């Protein structure tokens, strides 16, 4: 038994290293659909999602008030995000600390109706009007200084910049809760769903599954172990211990009841996009991240064309 990161799953599944035991777990449909999709390869659910995290819009309530904004101004669309960013910038604060990779900027692509590959991971879809619209929007945020990358804010990641009070908003996962408690306990904040784009709501999910080796001699016992580890009760125990969210929908209500401040994160499961579900994509995605780091002055269309070509090559199209 071992953890399989969602971003590495297809590499293992494609070479037959994993036992596809998804049909042997009780009530697999109770796992959030976006998580089942993440761990499905060639039509088979290979492994049970352990837990998950999503991205949300995290707001520093003191800096929000300083800009003359109220709870009613929390942005729910791209246009509203631009509008509040103008007000925050005028108040003398950087509006949004934004991570400079696909693991943050990719959320805008989902909100525009795009992504890097098709849902089954078989077809390259990077060079699309939807993805271009998303990157052009983010480029506008960067050019207008409505959003800044962590390095520009003298921070290692966006959560650190947010914790230091260098930005009024950030787009981060529910792990920010523990980070702020540990390093910036006096920061007051709230978490909200990411603003919807032209095609609706969208966020990114991050998860691991319980992997069973295809060559294991103890597959039945391993499945029983996974069964025990993925009950709603056990998942709530993980939530309390590690700050992660239960992957079973049947535990969602209890999680929201116990952690109401994290509602935006778990609600994101309904419209979340998992990592690229295709093998041999590491170098392609690293190159995409490099391009995103230069997005402010770069050419989004040329970048997507390059990612499309590289993805097609990796997928053997």
Tens of pLDDT, residue by residue over 184-218, are: 999 999 999 999 999 999 999 999 999 999 999 99
CATH architecture of structural domain 55-202+279-315: 3-Layer(aba) Sandwich (3.40)
Residues 6+ apart with CB under 8 A from 264: 56, 57, 191, 192, 193
The percent of residues in the chain predicted with pLDDT above 70, rounded, is 100
DSSP at 189: E
Residue among 234, 227, 311, 307 at smallest CA distance from 23: 227
**C-alpha torsion angle, residues 23, 28, 32, 38 (rounded to 10):** -10
Count CB neighbours of 11 within 10 A.
Answer: 16
Contact 5, 103 (CB under 8 A): no
Contact 208, 51 (CB under 8 A): yes
Contact 25, 226 (CB under 8 A): yes
pLDDT, mean over the chain? 97
pLDDT of residue 64: 98
Residue 173 clears pLDDT 90, i.e. is over it? yes
Residue among 34, 15, 169 at smallest CA distance from 104: 169
Paired tokens of 283: 């170098």
Paired tokens of 225: 């172990």
Summarize the confidence of residues 130-159 as an average pLDDT. 99
Q: Look-up: residue for tokens 């990612």?
A: 307
Residues 6+ apart with CB under 8 A from 224: none
In sequence order, the β-bridge partners of residue 41 are: 44
Residue 139 clears pLDDT 90, i.e. is over it? yes
Summarize the confidence of residues 289-306 as an average pLDDT. 98
Q: What does R_g of the chain's alpha carbons equal in angstroms?
A: 20
Q: How confident is the model at residue 262 (pLDDT cuts 50, 70, 90)?
A: very high
Summarize the confidence of residues 95-101 as an average pLDDT. 99
Helical (H) or strand (E) element with 284 = helix 282-293
Residue intervals in the chain for CATH 3.40.190.10:
2-53+204-273, 55-202+279-315
Residue 317 clears pLDDT 80, i.e. is over it? no
Instruction: Give the C-alpha separation, 64 to 228, whole Å.
Output: 44
Residue among 113, 135, 137, 136 at smallest CA distance from 125: 113
Residue 104 clears pLDDT 80, i.e. is over it? yes
Summarize the confidence of residues 284-306 as an average pLDDT. 98
pLDDT of residue 293: 98
Instruction: Specify the CATH superfamily of domain 2-53+204-273.
Output: Periplasmic binding protein-like II (3.40.190.10)
User: What backbone torsions phi and psi does residue 197 show, to the nearest 5 degrees?
Assistant: -100, -165
DSSP-based three-state secondary structure for 7: coil
Residue 134 clears pLDDT 90, i.e. is over it? yes
Instruction: Give the C-alpha separation, 180 to 50, whole Å.
Output: 24
234-248 residue pLDDT tens: 999 999 888 899 999
pLDDT of residue 109: 99
Instruction: Give the C-alpha separation, 111 to 149, whole Å.
Output: 20
pLDDT of residue 243: 85
Residue 114 clears pLDDT 90, i.e. is over it? yes
Q: How confident is the model at residue 280 (pLDDT cuts 50, 70, 90)?
A: very high
State how beta strands 48-60 and 245-246 pair: antiparallel
Helix, strand, coil shares, percent, the chain, to 5: 50, 20, 30
pLDDT of residue 242: 86
């Amino acid at each position: 038994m071992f953890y399989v990161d969602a971003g590495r799953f297809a590499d293992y599944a494609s070479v037959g290293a994993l036992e596809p035991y998804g049909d042997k777990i009780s009530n697999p449909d109770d796992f959030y659909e976006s998580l089942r999709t993440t761990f499905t390869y060639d039509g088979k659910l290979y492994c049970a999602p352990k837990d998950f995290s999503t991205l949300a819009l995290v707001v520093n309530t003191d800096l929000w008030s300083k800009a003359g904004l109220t709870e009613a101004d929390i942005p729910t669309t791209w246009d509203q995000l631009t509008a509040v960013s103008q007000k925050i910038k005028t108040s003398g604060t950087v509006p949004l600390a934004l991570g400079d990779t696909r693991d943050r900027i990719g959320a805008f692509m989902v909100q525009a109706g795009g992504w890097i590959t098709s849902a089954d991971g078989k077809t390259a879809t990077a060079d699309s009007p939807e993805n271009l619209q998303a990157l052009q929007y983010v480029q506008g945020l960067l050019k207008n200084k409505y959003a800044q990358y962590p390095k520009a804010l003298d921070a290692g990641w966006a959560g650190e910049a947010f914790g230091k009070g260098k930005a009024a908003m950030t787009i981060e996962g529910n792990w920010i809760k523990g980070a702020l408690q540990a390093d910036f306990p006096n920061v007051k904040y709230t978490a909200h769903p990411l603003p919807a784009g032209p095609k609706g709501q969208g966020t990114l999910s991050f998860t691991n599954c319980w992997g069973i080796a295809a060559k294991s001699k103890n597959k039945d016992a391993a499945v029983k172990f996974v069964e025990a580890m993925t009950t709603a009760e056990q998942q709530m125990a993980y939530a309390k211990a590690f700050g992660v969210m239960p992957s079973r929908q049947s535990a969602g209500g209890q999680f929201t009841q116990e952690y109401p401040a994290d509602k935006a994160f778990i609600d994101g499961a309904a419209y979340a996009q998992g990592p690229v579900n295709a093998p041999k994509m590491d170098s392609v995605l690293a190159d995409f991240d490099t391009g995103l780091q230069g997005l402010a002055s770069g050419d989004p269309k040329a970048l997507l064309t390059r990612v499309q070509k590289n993805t097609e090559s990796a997928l053997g199209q």
